[in-house]
Structure 1
Amino acid sequence: MVSLLLLFTACKEKLEVVDNTNLDPNNPDIVVIGSEIEGIYLARAAKDEGLSIVVLDPRDLSGGQLIQGEMHYLDEAIADGGRSLLQGRVKELFDRYKKGDIRKAGEFSDYYKTLIEGIPVETAITITTLDIKRDAKTSNKTLHSISYRTKEGEEKKITAKYWVENTDFSAITSRLGISRIPGIETVFNETGKTKDYMAASMMMKFRNVDWDKFKREINRLSKDDITKKYGGESTVTDKFTWGFGNVGGSYKASSKEVFLRGLNTINQRDGEVLINALLLYNVDPAREESIRNAIELGKRETERILPHLRKELPGWENAEVNGFPNYLYIRDFDRYETEYILQASDQMSGKMFWDNVSIAGYPIDLQGTMDHPWGERKGDPDQYGIPLRAFIPKGYTNIITAGKNIGASAVAYGSARIQPNTSLAAEVIGIILARMDDGQQLTEVTEKNMKEFHDYINKKYGITLRGAEGKNKIKYMSEEQIRQLNEGRLTLH
């Protein structure tokens, strides 16, 4: 049997090659395309419920933005008043992250290994063809099999009951003949682009930062002085910073392809810090050359930013670059129509769905584009539901989207996109796939089915998906105002 890649040896190393003799690698229950953590939560949940899983990753190194991109400044799902909405396996990650147990790259890698353990992974594959079948009576489609080429050039074919789109470049959904959901070009577009995306980011890593001095010197200033020097809401805690827009805004970038925004910084301990602030424009994650060029640009820009931070920030006088991630944080790319497309009005009204797979919450945060570099926050919802239908590509019965492939409008995506919102959804869907009746299709799941699934998931996993209520913050708005909200032409303060 052909060997499959299984376990991480280290954050930046390739996976070990081992045999999995308990699985027919050519006919598992679920094939996950890509190794972003959201889809791995689905894989883990489904495997623990008894299904067989194979992960096929088009990237050379697995782990996506969390492991290879080292996107370790984690945004929490929150409701009004800062109430945490974390549930499921992702809550463990955030609990340990906030406690300080998981801060460094190796610690994130070790956590990821606990999710992927026992699940075969084959990397560096190239999809060649999809075998799609259509039901003549219903016109619904199913994906029967995928043919792909291994890194060594061997041609393979794999069949499965279910398929999961878990890449950051729509590896399979872009080939299904489904319409693209209009993107951020419908909100920020001064140059008439037909397609545009929120910027990608490269994490900047530094060492020899005196965090205690950094915190002490900032916090001794008055609020007015902090605002004047560093920008409004600039804050340093024991663990994080946010704000510092003036530090980003005063930096002169080397080209129009990069931009330094406010500094979201995490204290990784021992003088090591990581910053999520370096935006890279016009990155196409479907093109390896575009990724390579963006990474090289990010490395050069990080070196140029270092003296700026040394000058502007106390405690950073002796800071040094602490290496570079292998990959980028791809924030936004093509998404394709699903059975339900989440809207900003769903979020701002606190809407809950009969087929909830996540209870979500986060500001509607549209990150910058080259046309609109600072981005914009469009509203601050309370908690809201995300339905199963937002993860089923339109017209297909056995494909699930995960993570950033969620069916959400350009505006709604600003909130729905964060990792814990879609990680919970993925875990719940993995459980549902194992609980469905033989022969039942995803599009045939009924309200009665969902109630049974919800009850089971609550009893076994402590995840609550029914009974939650979100505040309706747009109940007095007119239909025209709601339309403007959904189109991104209305900002709610």
Structure 2
Amino acid sequence: MWGNFSERGRGKGENKFYVKTIALLLVVAILLPHQYVMASGASCGNGCSTYDIVLIGSEVEGMMLAKAAHKNGLKVLVLDPREKPGGQLIQGQMQVLDEPNDKRKRSLVQGEMKKLYDGYKSKNIRTHEQFTRYYNQLIKGIPLRSGITIKKVSMGKRDKLKTVDSITYIAKDKKTYTVKADYWVENTDHNALTGKLGVKRIPGVETVYKSKKPDYMAATLMLKFKNVNWPKLHQAVLKDYPLTNVAKKYGPGTYVDWNYATGFSNVTAKFKPNDSQLMLRGLNTTYQLNGKVIMNAFLIFDVDPANPESVRKAREKAIKEAPRVLQFLKKNIPGYEHAQLDGFPDYLYIRDYNRFETDYIINYEDVMSGKMFWDNVSIGSYPVDLQGTKSVPKGITLGKPDRYGIPLRSFMLKEYENVIVAGKNVGATATAYGSVRIMPNTALAAETIGIIIAREGKHKRLKQLTPSDFKRIHKYLEYSYRIKVQK
């Protein structure tokens, strides 16, 4: 428009028309409420870049939000404090996938995450290389900077609530950058953003295990093996059927098919680590084919993911103990007689850390009663599984719920108008978190939120959405994405 207005030869009447039009547009822009304008068109000064959404961290759950928003035309940036992207899925190699099913055994995996689970079940995504290809395809086209350090968080206010207006960070090149965004997403396992905002922590598993100070479920070093004779393991367990006999011999929940193996807690309980920070629990193993397996079983207590030195020392201790675990498995688990270790992940699987108050905090009764919310952004399920801590190393399970709702408000940071939490940062009590925490539950929520921001952002802020809005949103999600988050 501006180029045409400056053309020579335009008549006086036509010029007056364009002047009036531009004046009207300027008045509208001034009067339009700030909260109804997405940020990407605005300027934030020299040396500052503006985005609709900035994610802090590259965990796969939040990346679902990033992809949905990016695909729908929003300007998205990912700033990752870790040296490499991928979080627990890629750097921690937590590639033994838990699946939410309702009491009729119907899978609740939906949206983008279903592509990963379909590939996992069909054995097309089992190895680390295959998971990495999936992740790289997921983030394709989204700008991502790893190895950043947040230097400053600048605050503001909107609608009587606090806002994060901009973040200044130091990049790998040692230069300082500033970014401004309409929405910010906490997508790390160590509160890289929310830990700086002065918000109130939701009490953790110390409330369940009666600890005197804040406590967290154990982390895990994923163990990788090669030369495992999986058919021998499968056949050995089949010989002990029925399952009542299997449970008596190997431990409750012991089960082996051609893809997965769980249980064996009667066996693993006999392993005595050299370090009290470590424990071998019941096995949770995926067969990756060609004699390779990956195992989620080697617990590490008292890991602080916000402290790189704590993570480094914990990982080193576990790696040092891994050969002893291997020798134990070779002697006590069929099919592992010739097994060898097959390398180690670069990082740990962090289950649990600080969660901060959100507009709604999901509780145990919500989960077990199957409560649905007007602002559902996900449908979840999974046993209420609280992994052990150093004081209660064996952990507890508090029941298996049917499907339940997970509301948008449980991902909106309390007291802040424009801060979203993703993945493990969901607002839930310690007991509810035992079920809500698994990846498909919160990944679906993140994807849905990304879609909602893109669709509704020009008209309403997330915290302004009403039950009436969500009736329309839910219909749109089901029609356009086959995502159903109502009962």
Give TM-score, length-normalised by structure 2: 0.89
From 140, 145, 150, the counterpart of 2:161: 140
Equivalent position of 1:206 in the other structure? 225
Q: Which residue of 2 aligns with 1:56?
A: 79
1:165 aligns with 2:169: no
Matched, 1:186 2:207: yes
Q: Which residue of the partner structure matches residue 447 of structure 1? A: 467
CA-to-aligned-CA distance 1:291-334 (integer Å, 9 cap, x gap): 11111111112111000000011111100000000010000000
The 5 A counterparts of 1:36-115 are 36-115=59-138
SS in 2 for 1:146: strand
1:33 equivalenced with 2:56 (yes/no): yes
Measured after TM superposition, the shift of residue 438 of structure 1 is 2.5
Tell me if the contact between 1:365 and 1:376 (Cα under 8 Å) persists in the aligned partners. Answer: yes
Q: What is the match of residue 230 of structure 1?
A: 250
How far residue 218 of structure 1 moved from its aligned partner, in angstroms, is 1.6
| Equivalent residue in structure 2 for 1:263, among 275, 278, 283 | 283
CA distance in 2, matches of 1:98, 1:301: 31
Unaligned 5+ runs, structure 2: 1-40
Secondary structure at the aligned position of 2:297 is classed as strand
Q: Residues 437 and 52 (structure 1 numbering): CA distance in 2 closer, same or farther, change over 3 Å?
A: closer
Contact 1:23 1:52 in 2 (8 A): no
What are the within-5 Å matches in structure 2 for residues 306-325 of structure 1? 306-325=326-345
Deviation per residue, 1:129-158 (Å, 9 max, x gap): 1111124xx531111000111123211110
> What amino acid is the match of 2:223?
M
Identify the residue that residue 315 of structure 2 maps to in structure 1.
295
Q: Which residue of 2 aligns with 1:242?
A: 262
> Does the 8 Å CA contact 1:332/1:404 hold for their aligned counterparts?
yes
Partner in structure 1 of residue 447 of structure 2: 427
RMSD of Structure 2 on Structure 1 (CA)? 1.5
* Residue number in structure 2 paired with 1:219: 238
One of 296, 310, 318 as aligned partner of 1:276: 296
Letter of the structure 1 residue corresponding to residue 230 of structure 2:
W
Distance 1:60 1:127 in 2: 14
AA aligned to 1:57 is D
How far the C-alpha of 1:403 sits from its partner, in A, is 0.2
1:150 aligns with 2:171: yes
Matches of 1:59 and 1:37, distance apart in 2: 14
Q: Show the counterpart of 2:405.
A: 385
Residue 233 of structure 1 deviates from its aligned partner by: 2.5
Task: Give me the whole-angstrom Cα distance separating, in 1, the residues matched to 2:75 and 2:458.
Answer: 15
- Counterpart of 1:195? 214
- Tell which deviates more after alignment, 373-382 or 138-147: 138-147
Number of equivalences: 442
Partner residue in 1 for 2:4: none
What is the Cα deviation at residue 38 of structure 1?
0.2
Q: What do the CA deviations read for 1:358-392 (whole angstroms, capped 9, x no partner)?
A: 01111111111111111101121100000000000
CA distance in 1: counterparts of 2:252 and 2:457, whole angstroms: 54
Could you tell me how far apart the structure 1 residues matched to 2:172 and 2:317 are? 27
Paired residue secondary structure (2:448): helix
Alpha-carbon distance, 1:82 to partner: 1.8
For residue 75 of structure 1, report the CA deviation from its aligned partner: 0.5
Q: Is the partner of 2:221 in helix, strand or coil?
A: strand
Contact kept in structure 2, 1:205 and 1:324, CA below 8 Å: yes
Note closer, same or farther for the CA distance 1:360–1:98 as it changes in structure 2 (3 Å cut). Answer: same
2:305, 2:84 → 1: CA distance?
14
Alpha-carbon contact 1:214-1:313 (below 8 Å) kept: yes
CA distance in 2, matches of 1:225, 1:464: 40
Instruction: Tell me how far apart the structure 2 counterparts of residues 222 and 48 of structure 1 sit (CA, whole Å).
Output: 50
> Which structure's CA Rg is the greater one?
2
Deviation at 1:226, TM superposition (A): 2.5
Distance 1:56 1:348 in 2: 36
Map 1:14-29; keep pairs closer than 5 Å: 26-29=49-52
CA–CA distance in 2 between the matches of 1:134 and 1:439?
19
Distance 1:23 1:404 in 2: 32
Q: Give the unaligned 5+ runs of structure 1.
A: 1-21, 469-493
SS at match of 1:463: coil
Partner of 2:437: 417
Q: Which amino acid aligns with 2:51?
A: P
Q: Name the CA distance, whole Å, in 2 between partners of 1:102 and 1:131.
A: 42
Runs (4+) of structure 1 moved beyond 4 Å?
22-25
After TM superposition, give the deviation of residue 439 of structure 1 in Å. Answer: 6.0
Identity, % of aligned positions: 49
